[in-house]
């Protein structure tokens, strides 16, 4: 009885020590992609400021249970109304989504002090707020794009062919979050959740089309439009391959963390076992007398 409860206690300790693993994993989703602010500023200590603060708090709280949400903070005077949303990349777990949104919100604070509106895109999530509504409005304007250097000549036809096939797959994928390709050629696409599926399809068609024409034979390409983005990568073409879900970098990093967590758990278990044995000895000693 004592032994079995001791065992379950050390199992509890082992699983408890796994907890920090997930927050460490999220570091790869924190990388900054772009950010922007409106010209207009609000007055410090105004009702707008307190509404904005409650909006940002709502975004961060909501990201603990949903990968997308929108909020409108109503006010008695129309100029104090604030609109906002966030969207996590579709493969993020809830804790990673919450961490990412919290980080993006804090970055809007440092990037856009007292601006009425702001937006930040990190690798793993997007956050935007404004005093004019943009919720449910499609936006295909290019916000930022990045193309890698040209693929080496001898690899070109193979890579370009596989990349085009992968992008056709993304185009036909359906859904707000899409991944495609495998091995050397990978891609992903994401819409902001306020778009309908038809609007998402329209936005992604535009992004993928632009990616093909503008990033041509590049080794990688990123096309961020107002409400969606599409990206592709060929292996080794970026400094960090952890843009993509389940990449090698993330996995080896996680394995290291797991090993560490297991060792800590085992040490805790051994320490408890020693205490238990010492306790048994005193009991046995006492009975022996």
40 sits near ligand NAG (criterion: CB under 6 A):
yes
How far apart are CB 50 and ligand NAG at their closest, in Å?
A: 15
User: Which residues, 44 to 73, sit near ligand NAG by CB under 6 A?
Assistant: 70
Tell me the number of residues near ligand NAG by CB under 6 A.
10
How far apart are CB 112 and ligand NAG at their closest, in Å?
A: 13
136 sits near ligand NAG (criterion: CB under 6 A):
yes
From residue 98 to residue 117, what is the string marking binding to ligand NAG with x (rule CB under 6 A)? ------------------x-
Q: Of all residues in this chain, which one has the CB nearest to ligand NAG in the complex?
A: 136
Closest by CA position to 41, among listed 112, 133, 132, 114: 114
Binding range to ligand NAG, per CB under 6 A, among 17-25, 127-135, 166-174, 271-279 = 127-135
User: Which residues, 192 to 231, sit near ligand NAG by CB under 6 A?
Assistant: 194
What torsion do the CA atoms of 146, 152, 155, 159 make, to the nearest 10 degrees?
10
13 sits near ligand NAG (criterion: CB under 6 A):
no
How far apart are CB 119 and ligand NAG at their closest, in Å?
A: 15
135 sits near ligand NAG (criterion: CB under 6 A):
yes
80 sits near ligand NAG (criterion: CB under 6 A):
no
User: Which residues, 141 to 200, sit near ligand NAG by CB under 6 A?
Assistant: 194
Binding range to ligand NAG, per CB under 6 A, among 16-24, 102-110, 128-136, 174-182 = 128-136
How far apart are CB 136 and ligand NAG at their closest, in Å?
A: 3
Measured from the CB atom, the residue of 55 and 171 that comes closer to ligand NAG is 55
Measured from the CB atom, the residue of 15 and 79 that comes closer to ligand NAG is 79
DSSP 140: -
Q: DSSP string of the chain?
A: -HHHHHHHHHHHHHHHTTTHHHHHHGGGG--EEEEEE-S-BPPTTSHHHHHHHHHHHHHHHHTTT-SEEEEEE--SSGGG-EEEEEEE-TT--HHHHHHHHHHHHHHHHHHSTTBS-EEEEESSEEEEEESS--TT-----EEEEEEPPBPPGGGHHHHHHHHHHHHHHHHT--SSEEEEEETTEEEEEEE-TTS-HHHHHHHHHHHHHHHHHHHTTBSEEEEEESSEEEEEEETT-SS--TTSTT-HHHHHHHHHHHHHHHHHHHHHHHHHHHHHHHHHHHHHHHHH-
Contacting positions for ligand NAG (CB under 6 A): 40, 42, 70, 79, 116, 131-132, 135-136, 194
């Amino acid at each position: 009885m004592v032994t079995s409860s001791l065992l379950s206690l050390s199992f509890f300790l082992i699983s408890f020590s796994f907890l920090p693993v997930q927050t460490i994993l999220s570091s790869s989703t924190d990388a900054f992609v772009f950010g922007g602010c409106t010209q207009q500023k609000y007055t410090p200590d105004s009702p707008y400021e307190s509404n904005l603060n409650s909006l940002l708090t709502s975004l961060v709280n909501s990201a603990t249970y949903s990968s997308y949400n929108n909020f409108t903070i109503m006010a008695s005077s129309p100029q104090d109304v604030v609109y906002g949303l966030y969207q996590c990349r579709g493969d993020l777990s809830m804790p990673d989504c919450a961490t990412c949104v919290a980080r993006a919100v804090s970055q809007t604070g440092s990037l856009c002090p007292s601006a009425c509106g702001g937006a930040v895109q990190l690798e793993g999530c997007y956050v935007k707020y404004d005093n004019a509504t943009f919720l449910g409005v499609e936006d295909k304007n290019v916000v930022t794009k990045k193309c890698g250097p040209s693929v080496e000549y001898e690899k070109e036809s193979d890579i370009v062919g596989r990349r085009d096939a992968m992008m056709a797959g993304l185009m036909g994928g359906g859904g707000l979050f899409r991944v495609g390709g495998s091995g050397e050629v990978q891609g992903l696409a994401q819409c902001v959740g306020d778009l309908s599926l038809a609007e998402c399809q329209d936005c992604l068609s535009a992004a993928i089309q632009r990616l093909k024409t503008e990033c041509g034979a590049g080794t990688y390409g990123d096309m961020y439009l107002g409400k969606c983005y599409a990206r592709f990568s060929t292996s080794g073409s970026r400094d960090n391959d952890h843009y993509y879900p389940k990449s090698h970098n993330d996995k080896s990093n996680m394995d290291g963390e797991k090993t560490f967590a297991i060792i800590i758990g085992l040490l805790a278990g051994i320490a408890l076992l020693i205490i238990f044995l010492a306790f048994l000895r005193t009991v046995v000693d006492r009975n022996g007398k």
